[in-house]
Structure 1
Amino acid sequence: MSSPNVETSTDRVGKYQLMTAIIMFEIGSTPMFLLGIKAGQNAWMAMAVGAVAGLLVLVPCLYLQRLTGDTDWTEMLLQRLGKWAGGLVALFYALLLAYESMRNVRDFGEMANGTILPQTPKWVIMIVITTIACYAVRKGIFVLFRTIELFFPTVVMSYTTLVLFFFISDLPSVHRLRPILDKGIGQVLGEALPELISFPFGQVFVFLLFWKYVKSGTGFVRTSLAAYGVVSLFLTIMSVLTLSILGADVAQVVAYPFLEAVQLIHIADFLERLDIFVTLIIFLGLFVKLAVFYLASNLMVSRMTGLPERTCGWFLGIVIFAASFLEPSQTFHIWLGLKVQVKYVWIFQMLMPILILALTLISKRRGQASC
């Protein structure tokens, strides 16, 4: 079985590129939704708990990558489960990653159609973004990660500016965050687990497809943990801000709480209506997320079939675009993703890597014993 084209490259992913990729990927469109809102004004605590629990996905994945060295998730599955069982599991993961990419394509189309491009047919928006992602994926991991690196300063400056504007407009109020834990810690844990592990924190498992391409000596473990810490802190702060501006009652009934909060910014009778600005930032996050999932799925399909990545990229792009129309409505799309999928996908994000890690440890110990 021939290896993907990317392995022939002498180029490697740098420390800063890895950090920006993890941060941009994990953030994605998450700030737009106030996750854990059923916990009311304690939703920010649910986000923090989810971030800590997400380490149960990240740490085993990092340990597994350190043990296996220059291999990716597809190779790990084939080595530990065998050609047929490992191949079937790898195929499932390739489809799961393509499905996750499809969800972001659908999110992109729905959000663009409902905000800045209401007169444009949704399918036109979705085919354009899928084509752009396909082009980036066919260029390979190094081009995509460099592109994300270029996006990063713009996103950082934009979110920093918005937070500053919130305070200049005197919108946050600590009173909207009270009472704290009025229904006990159980409500917070119930909202955080397992949903917030599955999305967004557990999705970091996808980097099992990319860590092998990081430059040696860059400390990918420390870099990944640092990036994850930044994401956790950022998402928790954004939850606090959104709740302190809107309050739990309003945040529970609007479709996009963060966008609603941004629309309240009003400075000196001339700076207002920044919702288009923040929508563009979210679009960058959505593109990064759909492209990373797309690339990860493409790498797995290419390795399993032996076909060139560029060939697989076109085929997979057609599948992702076509599948984005399978869900009959936006309501169904959100229900399936945020109510159903999140209850089960953590199994594949956490338990399977832990299983492969256990098999790897057993194999290494047997190898040492035989020596």
Structure 2
Amino acid sequence: MEKAKISVIQLFSLMFIFEMGTAVVTSYGINAKKDVWLAILLGMFVGIVFFFVYYFLFRQYPNLPLTGYTKKIFGKYLGWIIGLLYVLYFLYNAADNIRSFGDLLVSSILPQTPLLAIIILFVLTICYVLYLGIEVVGRTAEVFIVILVLFGITGNFLVLVSGDIDLDKVQPFLENGWTLILTTAFLETSNFPFNQLIVFMTLLPYLNRPRLVKKVWLSALISGGLILSWTASLNIAILGVEEVKKSTFPLLLTVGKINLLEFVQRVDVIVVFTLLIT
């Protein structure tokens, strides 16, 4: 295992940025329609429950990554197979995120650029950063989270003062009952991204203050869940349920509607850079 350490702030930054991922720009949880915000919050609480399972495992094997203690629990051979399945699962999620990023760039600012070229350049960048080591990844996240927060504050401020918000579009509450909300929460929003935080079980042994794992994990999970819930509600309040459902990247359309005094326009680049970071 790499002899390196990451700080509490760096782990929080990595987890928060990971949670935002593609969820912050896509039609995440829209199957719950107007109550998507509630489905996301319920999914977050499911993620909290699963965290305590992860935390128990970490306390039992504090110096091993996820693929290490699968062997301790299930034995050498079955544990190796389970560890391999987790690795493949993580690779699948990474490939899905990279494809979403490429699609966004092609559809927004680089329509004449081949999708394959964008993906290859992105993968090469990822390989280079990972080659430099986990400490570099942590420091990179530490810088990026500041930029991400500034983008978020700017984008939300411009949307709020643009006058396009219609609260009638998010009403009435529980229009379709609890069934749709609970189904979306347990089958969709709880898994992506909250339960996918299990990937950080591979990084916890590198934390320089392991006693703070619980505070860091829960802080990142809850803050990320609240922001995703807010963003989903904002998209619906501006675009409406049907337009959000039809759109691949509703946040791009939401920010695209910003028009202040015919001067501040076309700030879609905020969304593009947000997805680039997350």
Q: Fold-level match, TM-score > 0.5? A: yes
**Secondary structure of 1:31's aligned partner:** coil
C-alpha distance in 1 between matches for 2:166 and 2:34: 12
Alpha-carbon distance in structure 2 between the residues aligned to 1:61 and 1:227: 15
> What residue is the counterpart of 1:328 in the other structure?
none
Greater shift after overlay, 180-189 or 217-226?
A: 217-226
* 1:99 maps onto 2:88 in alignment: no
Of 217, 224, 240, the match for 2:233: 240
Structure 1 residues 181 and 141: CA distance shift in structure 2, 3 A: same
1:265-300 per-residue CA deviation (whole Å, 9 max, x = no partner) reads 011111011112321211111xxxxxxxxxxxxxxx
Are residues 1:54 and 2:44 paired?
no
1:16-61 CA-partner distances (Å, limit 9, x unpaired):
1111111001111211112221222111111111111112322211
Tell me the distance in 2 between the aligned counterparts of 1:252 and 1:74. Answer: 37
What is the TM-score when the length of structure 2 is the normalising length?
0.96
Is residue 51–residue 232 contact of structure 1 (8 Å, CA) maintained in 2?
A: yes
RMSD: 1.3
Query: Any unmatched runs of 5+ in structure 2?
Result: none
1:142 matched to 2:128? The reply is no
Q: Does residue 170 of structure 1 match 2:163?
A: yes
**Equivalent position of 1:36 in the other structure:** 29
Shift of 1:217: 5.5
CA contact (8 A) 2:155 2:270 kept: no
TM-superposed deviation, 1:248: 1.2
- Aligned with 1:271: secondary structure? coil
In structure 2, distance between residues paired with 1:123 and 1:255: 19
What residue number does 1:211 align with?
Answer: 204
Residue in structure 2 matched with residue 281 of structure 1 by the alignment: 274
Distance 2:225 2:121 in 1: 31
Matches within 5 A, 1:294-305: none
Cα pair 1:174 1:244 within 8 Å, conserved: yes
Q: Give the Cα separation in 2 of the matches to 1:178 and 1:71.
A: 48
**CA contact under 8 A between 1:49 and 1:192: conserved in structure 2?**
yes
Matches within 5 A, 1:204-353: 204-216=197-209, 219-285=212-278
Residue 234 of structure 1: how far off its partner (Å): 0.8
Flag structure 1 segments of 5+ consecutive residues without an equivalent: 286-371
CA distance in 2: counterparts of 1:219 and 1:172, whole angstroms: 40
- Kept in 2, the 8 Å contact 1:265–1:274? The answer is yes
- Partners of 2:242 and 2:114 lie apart in 1 by 33
Aligned residues: 278
Correspondence 1:147-162 to 2 at 5 A: 147-162=140-155
Q: Indicate if the aligned counterparts of 1:41 and 1:180 stay in contact, CA closer than 8 A.
A: yes
Match of 2:179 in 1: 186
Alpha-carbon separation, structure 2, partners of 1:255 and 1:96 = 23
Q: Deviations over 1:320-341 (max 9, x none)?
A: xxxxxxxxxxxxxxxxxxxxxx
Q: Specify the SS of the correspondent of 2:63.
A: coil
Most deviating of 76-85 and 33-42: 33-42
1:29 and 1:283 in contact (8 A); partners too: no
Q: Equivalent residue for 1:24?
A: 17
Calculate percent identity across the aligned residue pairs: 27
112, 120, 128: which is aligned to 2:105?
Answer: 112
Shift of 1:144: 0.7
The structure with more radius of gyration = 1
Distance in 1, Cα, partners of 2:224 & 2:271: 18
Moved over 3 A (4+): none
User: 2:203 and 2:168 mapped to 1: Cα distance?
Assistant: 44
